[in-house]
């Protein structure tokens, strides 16, 4: 019987509104870094503007991303993305006038939409979810109870989630947790990835470490990303997961699949969700 996935160190959604060590990753192609910079440019630009309008987000050409040069490369086809409109003179999360890095948009509107051909998972339609839906991701009863209590202690405000399955069997789940402050969001993220030595494990998986295929030079402005990949031998399914810390909001992206969960659509999902939060 395989051990569950540990959210390794480097080296309650809220109630509705109320193997061998991986080799070092090769240096990513510079065109990939340039493409990601373009991918996030719209969101970065919007960070200094006032609300009142929605903003379209740019998408890179297929040939600018590694492994995305042909039609049959595994990349998922997401709908065009846009940032939700805010009331007049309400600041975006990383503008100079928003020292608390607060997301004033409806959290549900910041969730990444499902790609083409996706089948919605029951109960994960992009709406609010209860805390126990989020903590159900973790394998041990004591972990779930511990995280429930920590979310209560840290006064998580809301949790929104969307999930889907793809024709190849990949299951995707995206959770966004909004806290009362950026400090609480950061503290909870640190616990999830094990900086405080909590033995937190994802269900149906084995030990995870930092993803060797994630470009080490890639940094997204204002965001902290921890991108993980399960070690071999895999558990019941292969699990990839990532946390996205963006001010007062923490995102968790999980892809799982029997056999192997492909890296390309996982990285694509992480970057797009990060863009919506940044």
> What tokens does 224 get?
């902290």
Report the pLDDT value the prediction gives residue 198, as an integer from 0 to 100: 56
Residue 62 is inside which H or E element, if any? Answer: none
Q: pLDDT value at position 127?
A: 98
pLDDT at 6: 46
Q: What is the pLDDT of residue 195?
A: 54
Contact between 83 and 43 under an 8 Å Cβ cutoff? The reply is yes
Kindly report, residue by residue over 2-47, the tens digit of the pLDDT: 444 444 433 334 444 443 334 444 444 444 444 344 344 333 333 3
Give the separation between CA 235 and CA 258, rounded to whole angstroms. Answer: 9
Question: Residue with structure tokens 């409109």?
Answer: 85
81-139 pLDDT per residue, tens: 998 888 888 888 888 888 888 898 899 999 999 999 999 999 999 999 999 999 999 98
Share of the chain above pLDDT 90, in %: 47
Q: CA triplet 110, 113, 115: central angle to 5 degrees?
A: 155
The answer to whether residues 103 and 110 touch, using CB atoms and an 8 Å cutoff, is yes
Quote the percentage of the chain above a pLDDT of 70.
72
Max CA distance (Å), the chain = 56
What would the pLDDT profile of 57-75 be if each residue is shown by its tens digit? 544 444 444 333 445 668 9
The predicted-structure confidence for 130-181, as pLDDT tens digits, reads as follows 999 999 999 889 889 989 999 999 989 999 999 999 999 999 999 999 999 9
> How far is CA 136 from each of CA 36, 54, 139, 163, 257, rounded to the nearest angstrom?
32, 34, 7, 14, 18
Q: How far apart are CA 174 and CA 165, in angstroms?
A: 12
Which pLDDT belongs to residue 5?
Answer: 45
Burial of 30 (0-12, 13-18, 19+ CB in 10 A): exposed
CA gap 202, 45 in Å, rounded: 36
- Strands (DSSP E) along the chain, which ranges? 5-6, 55-56, 82-83, 119-128, 158-165, 171-178, 201-202, 208-210, 224-230, 238-246, 249-257
The whole-chain average pLDDT of the chain stands at 78
Radius of gyration, CA atoms only, the chain: 18
CB 185 within 8 A of CB 224: no
Rounded to whole angstroms, how far apart are CA atoms 241 and 229? Answer: 7
**Residue 80 gets which letter from DSSP?**
P
209: helix, strand or coil: strand
Write down the pTM of the prediction: 0.77
CB 206, CB 227: distance < 8 Å: no
In this prediction, residue 35 carries a pLDDT of 39
DSSP string of 162-179?
EEEE-TTS-EEEEEEEE-
> Is the model more confident about 233 or about 77?
77
Residue 241 in contact with residue 228, Cβ under 8 Å?
yes
């Amino acid at each position: 019987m395989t051990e569950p996935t540990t959210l390794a160190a480097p080296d309650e959604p809220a109630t509705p509104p109320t193997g061998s060590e991986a080799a070092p990753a090769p240096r990513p192609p510079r065109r990939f870094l340039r493409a990601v910079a373009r991918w996030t440019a719209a969101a970065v630009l919007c960070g200094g503007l006032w609300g009142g309008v929605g903003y379209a987000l740019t998408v890179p050409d297929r040939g600018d991303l590694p492994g995305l040069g042909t039609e049959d490369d595994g990349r998922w086809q997401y709908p065009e993305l846009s940032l939700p409109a805010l009331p007049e003179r309400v600041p975006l999360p990383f503008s100079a006038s928003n020292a608390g890095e607060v997301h004033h948009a409806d959290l549900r509107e910041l969730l990444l939409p499902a790609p083409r051909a996706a089948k919605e998972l029951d109960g994960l339609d992009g709406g609010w979810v209860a805390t126990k839906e989020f903590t159900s991701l973790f394998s041990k009863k004591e972990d779930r109870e511990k995280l429930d209590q920590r979310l209560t202690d840290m006064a998580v405000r809301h949790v929104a989630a969307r999930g889907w399955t793809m024709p190849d069997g990949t299951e995707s789940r995206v959770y966004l947790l909004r806290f009362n402050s950026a400090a609480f969001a950061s503290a909870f993220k640190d616990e999830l990835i094990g900086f405080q030595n909590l033995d937190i494990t994802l269900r149906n998986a084995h030990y995870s470490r930092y993803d060797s295929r994630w470009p080490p030079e890639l940094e997204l402005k204002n965001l902290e990303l921890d991108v993980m990949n399960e070690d071999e031998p895999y558990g019941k399914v292969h699990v990839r997961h990532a946390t996205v810390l963006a001010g007062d909001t923490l995102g968790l992206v999980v892809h799982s699949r029997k056999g192997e969960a492909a890296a390309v659509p996982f990285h694509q999902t992480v970057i797009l969700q990060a863009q919506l939060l940044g």
